[in-house]
Amino acid sequence: MPLVTPFQTSFGTETRRDVLLLRVVTPEAEGWGECVAMSAPLYSAEYVDGAADVLRRFLIPALPAHADAHAVGRALRPFKGHRMAKTALEAAVLDAGLRAAGLSLGSFLGASADRVSAGVSIGIVDSIPELLDVVAGYLEEGYVRIKLKIKPGWDVAPVRAVRERFGLDVPLQVDANAAYTLADAGHLARLDEFGLLLIEQPLADDDIVQHARLATRLTTPICLDESIESAEHAAAAISLGACSVVNIKPGRVGGYLEARRIHDLCRAHGVAAWCGGMLETGIGRAANVALAALPGFSLPGDLSGSRRYFTTDITPPFELRDGHLTVPTGPGIGVEPIPEILDEVTTAIEWIPL
């Protein structure tokens, strides 16, 4: 699926998404799950073809008969890693089970809101004037929070320009995608003057200790993304003082049940949390919006409307209304692919019987 505009981060540029969907068919219902792995192993070690392979060879064959979402987690636990593939499988089984029960995902997870505030993530662009035009456009659409991707050489100047143009009242945060080292602490401290909500994943994903050291040198709150792959990782990071905010992405942590556990942990420790995104179609977006409606998600998430990324989504589009997205209330994730649109973009189908 081609993206509306190229999306550039510190590790690369995406112009399209190769989407892996799972459809679980049971005697009672059907369910859908989306794998958020990228085409290449840049954000994490996972990539979409690898996810398809591990699902086909190991994860799906490991499922017990009549598995619910909890049984999926137990069956997949022996397999190391591959959290994005596991999330897609858990989500599809969970969706099917909830549809059969007539229960929405939001209700199942414990959602306390019927709509969630929407932020937008803005990739690295060619110039500051272009960036200012992009930010202005999204603010006019109604997004309540702006996130800027940054990297060495594209950080202080663009942030200063956005603050000077739009003022301190605009909630603003930055995301480095692990592009810096602790040696850059002095430079990153220059961002403190701009009143940012947070700086997301400034250092390497496998170095929580260095993040704890960096936190003592910044007044801007540190948010961890790639470093948090489980509730255990979140607990360690919070204990070490490595972060005061957590970005919870279900695909990164292995599923919506684990995402809820991390949410509960953060809420218990007074740590702010928000729901991240991975350029999902309406399938993954519906599930994320339901998750983001839990009471501990205190900051706007990367939950943009469908047209932020796709000219035509594969589900009825999510529309921004007054800076918010409506939480689906139908059974399961509350949306389904539109068959004719799905057919247009489908390149391969494989059925795996249990």
Q: In the chain, where are the structural domains located? A: 2-102, 108-326
pLDDT at position 238: 97
Q: pLDDT of 149-207, one tens digit each?
A: 999 999 999 999 999 999 999 999 999 999 999 999 999 999 999 999 999 999 999 99
Residue 7, pLDDT score: 86
Beta bridge partner(s), residue 149: 175
Q: Which residue has the tokens 């801007």?
A: 220
**Amino acid identity, position 172:** L
Report residue 354's pLDDT band, with 50, 70 and 90 as the boundaries.
confident
**2-102: in CATH 3.30.390.10:** yes
pLDDT, mean of residues 341-352: 96
The answer to whether 225 and 251 have CB atoms below 8 angstroms apart is no
Structure tokens at 264: 């509960």
List the catalytic residues: 149, 249
Contact indicator for 4, 308 with CB cutoff of 8 Å: yes
Q: Hey, which residues does 263 pair with through a beta bridge?
A: none
Instruction: Name the DSSP letter for residue 275.
Output: E
What is the token pair recorded at 281? 């179609």
Listed in sequence order, the DSSP H helices in 255-350 are: 256-268, 282-292, 339-345
Q: Are 153 and 166 in contact (CB under 8 A)?
A: no
Does 318 score more than 90 pLDDT? yes
Helices (H) and strands (E) in the chain, counts: 13, 13
Segment 289-300 mean pLDDT: 97
Task: Kindly report the length of the chain.
Answer: 354
- pLDDT-based confidence at 12, cuts 50/70/90? confident
pLDDT at res. 10: 81
Average pLDDT over residues 21-33: 96
Q: CA-to-CA distance for 249 and 11, rounded, in angstroms? A: 18
When mean pLDDT is compared across 5-9, 25-29, 179-183, the lowest value belongs to 5-9
At residue 247, what are phi and psi to the nearest 5 degrees? -90, 120
In tens, the pLDDT along 133-158 reads 999 999 999 999 999 999 999 999 99
Question: What was the pLDDT predicted at 11?
Answer: 82
User: For residue 206, how far is the Cα from the chain centroid?
Assistant: 19
Mean pLDDT of 233-254: 97
Residue-wise pLDDT tens digits, 56-107: 999 999 999 888 999 999 999 999 999 999 999 999 999 999 999 999 999 9
pLDDT tens digits, 257-274:
999 999 999 999 999 999
Tell me the per-residue pLDDT of 206-231, one tens digit each, with 9 for 90 and over: 999 999 999 999 999 999 999 999 99
Q: Which of 299, 196, 200 is nearest to 243 (CA)?
A: 200
Q: Measured between alpha carbons, how far is residue 275 from residues 46, 224, 263, 285 in Å?
A: 20, 12, 10, 11
Superfamily name with CATH number, domain 108-326: Enolase-like C-terminal domain (3.20.20.120)
Tell me whether the CATH fold assigned to 2-102 matches the one assigned to 108-326: no
**Distance in angstroms (rounded) separating the CA atoms of residues 277 and 254:** 14
What pLDDT shows up at residue 174? Answer: 98
Sign for the CA dihedral angle at 245, 251, 254, 256 comes to positive
What percent of the chain is predicted at pLDDT more than 90? 95
Question: DSSP of 54-88, one letter per residue?
Answer: HIIIIIGGGPPTT--HHHHHHHHTTS-S-HHHHHH
**Element of type H or E holding 199:** strand 199-200
